[in-house]
Structure 1
Amino acid sequence: MKAIIRSIILAVIGSLAFVSLAEAQVTVTGVISDSNRLVLPYAGVVNLTTGKRAFSDQGGFYKIAAGLNDKIVITFVGYLPDTIVATQSSGTQTINVILEPESRFLREVEVTTQYTPYQLDSIARREQYGYLLNLPNKPLAGGNTPEGAGVVFSPITRFSKKERQKRQFKENYEKMEREKYIDSRFTPVLVSRVTGLKGDSLLMFMKDNYPDYGTMRAIGNNDLLYWITDRYKAWIKK
């Protein structure tokens, strides 16, 4: 009997030790910024092992629970994602993350599919951030009352921390998509071909004459050539 009891006790102890080890977690934290030390608010933080998600705050600070060897991916619109690994099983581990910006201008090589390079990249971005973009915005206080009609927003919906972060992310994403579309048409190769500019002069001209999204959506390819030519003539006179 004593042997049986001893076996049961050992089994229970072993089971508790296993559960304790399985539940051991570390709080991974740090600051997310870019190579210019600009903090990145509302960056996505996803524990690929557990599926848990978080966001950095307005100061770029993030915090997420993880287990030993859990992989955590950091994403921010317009930047290349980065993956970090939790190397502790408990306590707090500080890992500051520096993200590198994506190439400013998309490739111009034509692809043998029904999509343009911009469309392919846009589809890939949509798949990457779809889990967040598909989340509906929480309703405002007042039911269907239009925003701006004197309503008081609910402090636990629109102005909750997560709701603010989600809405800010969507705004950043929309802005990035517009810039990506502009960059897919207003490219260094095209502008250089039209103006003959190269190097720093080309980059300076493109910066000084960066078109707006509405213009790029409204004009065709031939009109774009004329638009660049007119801007170039005015630019060289300065």
Structure 2
Amino acid sequence: MKVLLRIIALGCIFSMAFAPLVNAQVTVTGMISDSNKLVLPYATVSNLNSGKRALSDQGGYYKIYGNRNDRIVVTFVGYKPDTVIITQANGTQTINVVMESAGKFLKGVEVTSQYTPYQIDSIERRSQYGYILDKPNQQLAGGSTPEGAGIVISPITRFSKKEKQKRQFKKNYEQMEKEKYIDSRFTPILVNKVTGLTGDSLQHFMRDNYPDYNTMRTINTNDLYYWITDKYKAWKNKKN
């Protein structure tokens, strides 16, 4: 019996000693940018081995967990996917990713007069981030939670941080889509054609007269010409 107990005890010690090595995970972190040193917020970072996914933050920084030899794929709309390999067995490994620009058109979408370049890019963005956008909003801790309900130990509290991040991403995504649409119509080529402005003057005029989303959605092309002309006259008079 004593021998058996010793064997069991040694087995437990052995398991405790080596379990951390077997289950050790690597924290992979770094910054995602492009060749022009432009940081890429909300790039998708996927561990192909574990199936886990993460997003880079507004500064382009990301964090994801994995094991040695796991393949990490980084994707961002308008750029070629990039794959890196985890080489460490434990600890933290820093991998900065510099992405290469790619063609804008989405495979599988028929490029005809039915789709504008903006619409094609929008379809691709929706496809990439759908796994987040399609998730329904969950209840947050606090708010309607009854007083004295003990929200400190509530499961809702535990997931509130991620839920807030998800909601913020949805808001940022909606704003990004609006800005992309505005930029697809209020272009430097069009403004130059109407006003004749170039260089810094063109950039300053477009910055000072950046239109709102509702205007761009309701105005037709001919009226947009007149809108730019009126804005240019007022802008020029103000400068003079």
Same fold by TM-score greater than 0.5: yes
Instruction: For residue 45 of structure 1, report the CA deviation from its aligned partner.
Output: 2.5
* Equivalent residue number for residue 144 of structure 2: 151
Gaps of 5+ in 1: 1-20, 103-110, 143-149
TM-score between the two structures when normalised by the length of structure 2: 0.68
Give, as a single letter, the amino acid of the residue that structure 2 aligns with 1:120.
I
Give, as a single letter, the amino acid of the residue that structure 2 aligns with 1:137.
N
8 Å Cα contact 1:26-1:93 kept in structure 2: yes
Aligned length: 202
8 Å Cα contact 1:28-1:93 kept in structure 2: yes
Once the two structures are superposed, the pairs formed by residues 1-238 of structure 1 within 5 Å of their partners are 25-32=25-32, 40=41, 44-56=44-56, 62-74=62-74, 80=79, 83-91=82-90, 92-97=92-97, 112-140=112-140, 151-152=144-145, 156=156, 160-237=160-237, 238=239
Once residues 158 and 225 of structure 2 are traced to their aligned partners in structure 1, the CA distance between those partners, rounded to angstroms, is 45
DSSP-derived class of the 1:163 partner: helix
Once residues 158 and 184 of structure 1 are traced to their aligned partners in structure 2, the CA distance between those partners, rounded to angstroms, is 41
Once residues 188 and 38 of structure 2 are traced to their aligned partners in structure 1, the CA distance between those partners, rounded to angstroms, is 27
8 Å Cα contact 1:71-1:83 kept in structure 2: no
Greater RCO structure (CA 8 Å; 6+ sep): 1
* Equivalent residue number for residue 18 of structure 1: none
Once residues 113 and 78 of structure 2 are traced to their aligned partners in structure 1, the CA distance between those partners, rounded to angstroms, is 26
Once residues 141 and 67 of structure 1 are traced to their aligned partners in structure 2, the CA distance between those partners, rounded to angstroms, is 33
Structure 1 residues 57 and 225 mapped into 2: Cα distance closer, same or farther (>3 Å)?
closer
DSSP-derived class of the 1:65 partner: strand
Instruction: For residue 66 of structure 1, report the CA deviation from its aligned partner.
Output: 2.5
Percent identity between the two aligned chains? 65
Give, as a single letter, the amino acid of the residue that structure 2 aligns with 1:162.
K
Once residues 95 and 163 of structure 1 are traced to their aligned partners in structure 2, the CA distance between those partners, rounded to angstroms, is 27
- RMSD of aligned C-alpha atoms? 3.7
TM-score between the two structures when normalised by the length of structure 1: 0.68
Report the structure, 1 or 2, having the larger helix content: 2
Structure 1 residues 158 and 57 mapped into 2: Cα distance closer, same or farther (>3 Å)?
farther
Structure 1 residues 152 and 56 mapped into 2: Cα distance closer, same or farther (>3 Å)?
farther
8 Å Cα contact 2:72-2:86 kept in structure 1: no
Once residues 37 and 29 of structure 2 are traced to their aligned partners in structure 1, the CA distance between those partners, rounded to angstroms, is 20
* Equivalent residue number for residue 5 of structure 1: none
Instruction: For residue 65 of structure 1, report the CA deviation from its aligned partner.
Output: 2.2
Give, as a single letter, the amino acid of the residue that structure 2 aligns with 1:151.
S
Instruction: For residue 30 of structure 1, report the CA deviation from its aligned partner.
Output: 3.0
Gaps of 5+ in 2: 1-20, 103-110
8 Å Cα contact 2:33-2:97 kept in structure 1: yes
**Per-residue deviation, residues 71-130 of structure 1 (Å, max 9, x unmatched):** 323456x8857634124151131123467899xxxxxxxx63311111111111101111
Once residues 163 and 97 of structure 2 are traced to their aligned partners in structure 1, the CA distance between those partners, rounded to angstroms, is 24
